[in-house]
Structure 1
Amino acid sequence: MRPPNLCTVLRVLLVLLLCAERCVAVKWLALYRIKQRPWETTRNCTRSSGLAARQMKLCRDNLDLMSTVVHSAMVSMETCQQQFADRRWNCSSILRVPSLPMDLVRGTREQAYVYGISSSALVHSISRACSIGVTTKCSCGVLPNTTPTGNFKWGGCGDDLHFGLLFGEAFTDATLRNKKGKVKTSKKAMMNRHNFRVGRKVVADSLTQACKCHGVSGSCSIKTCWRALPSFDSIGALLKDRYALAVEVRRKRRKKMKVLIPIHKGRASFRDDELVYYEKSPDYCSPDSKTGSVGTRGRLCESSGWGPGNCDSMCCGRGYNNFTMEVTERCECKYIWCCYVKCKVCTKLLKLSQCR
């Protein structure tokens, strides 16, 4: 048997290195598949659940938080698909985790968004879990030590953003270290680390003031306020804005350090709340396994309007078919004393369009 030549060996090593780089990433989002399992033992803390080695240890040490981590995986995946439902790239590939299609490993702005949304969902979910007593590792957020500027007093139980940020960074960035614990310095790892950080910052910057009134007969003679996070839908929308304005970067050596810099000469750097990418996205019109595009054939579109979901844009010039669909639903519901709701059954026709 002829031994393999040097080129073949190098090619195999390159594939293995690329796989090692790809194999961590956001595979932990696959935890959404085990949402019904109890977390009373460590049997779910395995690679088959999508966890990297360091994440498995965090899992074993924080079983009381793992149901919240699972929730964050579900929230990030649902939000991503909601935000991009009317786009050619509709985030459907995220459902394939722990397998990672090429659109989530090539360094595109789509990959940047997925990393940002997964990181922010984790911080958001953990911070809120603390304030409702899910775990004894954290509780209410620290109240501001500044004097209130309005007719209220600080009190209540705010979201523990500080713990959420610490746990979120430890969990997501655990995938960006090698077996010896050293920080990975590849271009992809640097990009992913930054976009994880962007997700955390967007959550941190969204902390707002929530209040509750106290008083006789519903009056607001006394008002208590605390710091709380908004609904996650608003976080997803903010990150979608960051996606649209993502900065294309390249890697450069500066004083013995490798850094990412914008490719446009007019910009010297990028902000810590801007998503970055280094690979241009395809048009996602046709299926292409090399880019991770699944194409838009069969997608529903809007036959009128000028948004990204209109048929001319969604169908990439291939045309579309119009059809009607009969839908049955409850309607004209009335509350009957006491104590049930009575509804009629209505049938309506929906006029839909589908890409060829």
Structure 2
Amino acid sequence: MCQKNLDLMTSVVQAAKQTIDVCQEIFFEKRWNCSTILNAPKFLPDLTGGSREQAFVYSLAAGSLAQTIAKACSSGLTSKCGCAQIPTEPAPGNFRWGGCGDDVKFGVAFSRQFTDQTESRRKKRSKDVLMNVHNAHVGRKMLADSIAPICKCHGVSGSCSVKTCFKSLPALKVVAVMLQNRYSAAVEMGDNAAGISALQTTGSKKSSRSLSKRVASTDRLVFSSISPDYCLPDPSLGSVGTQGRECDKDSTGSSGCRSMCCGRGYVSEIVVQTFKCNCKYYWCCEVKCKVCRKLVEVHKCR
């Protein structure tokens, strides 16, 4: 598939990179901070054992791929697709449809083929296979549902003589935050995957399709194994622990030292931080800044 779509491989790489960046950004203040995603493709058990974290990463990655491909279409980076079809519903207000909308339909189709093919090649229709396929579907659906009109005015000297709208996908972080809410409310598959062991022995395609349909009947993320607390290093669970992680001694949330350090306490130190300051704009077209320093107190888990 890669060889047949060489012009889209740059977008695939971009999707992988932004999946890593966004995942680590929104879990920055959590015990599990998405750091193990950097081990790809050799994931640790936190991303292979059926956890909530695995559910989130699979859904985010599938949505990310659909987004980058859809935007590659509207940017003219490939000949395999182009602008999205003109919407059938009326444009907002007194605007009309124009411009070049993101081809989310092609992006979702490509993402489904690219991500789900790997799972479908597995010999056993295990619980995790169904889980991964379902969660990837949720990520793509969340992305597709988030597309929204962007309206602009065009005209001479700032006039609004031409008013056009096109549909555009948001930044991946917008979708990631929605998926993070579903991560918190994820459902353990449990009986939803009843009969999987029988499917593995009988190889019944009909039963497999029926089971997949039941599991995919919800747009909630699903997981098959309970996550550890990620407090201490445990390679068998994919936990790297929180020792040395920075925390906020005044926070009562997940970033607070009480939660982050799991009751082990923390050490404090004064460090020098450098930052840009007193920035000035010089015509044309340069911004020059000074480098300032300040002392800050940093707290790290024991």
> Fold-level match, TM-score > 0.5?
yes
Partner of 2:61: 118
Partner of 1:186: 126
Structure 2 contact 153–159 (Cα < 8 Å) conserved? yes
CA distance in 2, matches of 1:339, 1:229: 31
CA distance in 2, matches of 1:156, 1:167: 23
CA distance in 1, matches of 2:92, 2:173: 29
CA distance in 2, matches of 1:138, 1:201: 20
Which string of whole-angstrom CA distances, capped at 9 and with x for unpartnered residues, describes residues 181-202 of structure 1? x7x5211101111011111101
Of 336-345 and 115-124, the range deviating more from structure 2: 336-345
Q: Structure 1's 346 and 121: CA in aligned 2 closer, same or farther, altered over 3 A?
A: same
- How many residues align structurally? 290
Partner of 2:181: 241
1:198 is matched with which residue: 124, 138, 150? 138
CA distance in 1, matches of 2:26, 2:287: 33
**In the TM superposition, what is the alpha-carbon distance from 1:122 to its structure 2 partner?**
0.2
- Residue 60 (structure 1) aligned with residue 6 (structure 2): no
Letter of the aligned partner of 2:44 in structure 1? P
CA distance in 1, matches of 2:280, 2:185: 47
CA distance in 2, matches of 1:81, 1:328: 23
**In the TM superposition, what is the alpha-carbon distance from 1:260 to its structure 2 partner?**
7.2
2:194 is matched with which residue: 238, 242, 252? 252
CA distance in 1, matches of 2:288, 2:161: 41
1:277 is matched with which residue: 211, 219, 223? 223
**In the TM superposition, what is the alpha-carbon distance from 1:221 to its structure 2 partner?**
3.7
Structure 2 contact 134–216 (Cα < 8 Å) conserved? no
Structure 1 contact 83–237 (Cα < 8 Å) conserved? yes
Provide TM-score, normalisation by structure 1. 0.77
CA distance in 2, matches of 1:342, 1:82: 28
1:347 is matched with which residue: 285, 293, 298? 293
Structure 1 contact 131–139 (Cα < 8 Å) conserved? yes
Unaligned runs of 5+ residues in structure 1 are 1-57, 262-267
- Residue 69 (structure 1) aligned with residue 19 (structure 2): no
Letter of the aligned partner of 1:145 in structure 2? T
CA distance in 1, matches of 2:109, 2:92: 29
Partner of 2:201: none
CA distance in 2, matches of 1:318, 1:157: 55
After superposition, where does 1:86-165 map in structure 2 within 5 Å?
86-165=29-108
Structure 1 contact 249–260 (Cα < 8 Å) conserved? no
**In the TM superposition, what is the alpha-carbon distance from 1:312 to its structure 2 partner?**
0.2
Provide TM-score, normalisation by structure 2. 0.91
> Could you list the runs of 4 or more consecutive aligned residues of structure 1 that deviate by over 4 angstroms after TM superposition?
268-271
**In the TM superposition, what is the alpha-carbon distance from 1:100 to its structure 2 partner?**
1.3
CA distance in 2, matches of 1:328, 1:247: 44
Q: Structure 1's 248 and 270: CA in aligned 2 closer, same or farther, altered over 3 A?
A: farther
Unaligned runs of 5+ residues in structure 2 are 197-203
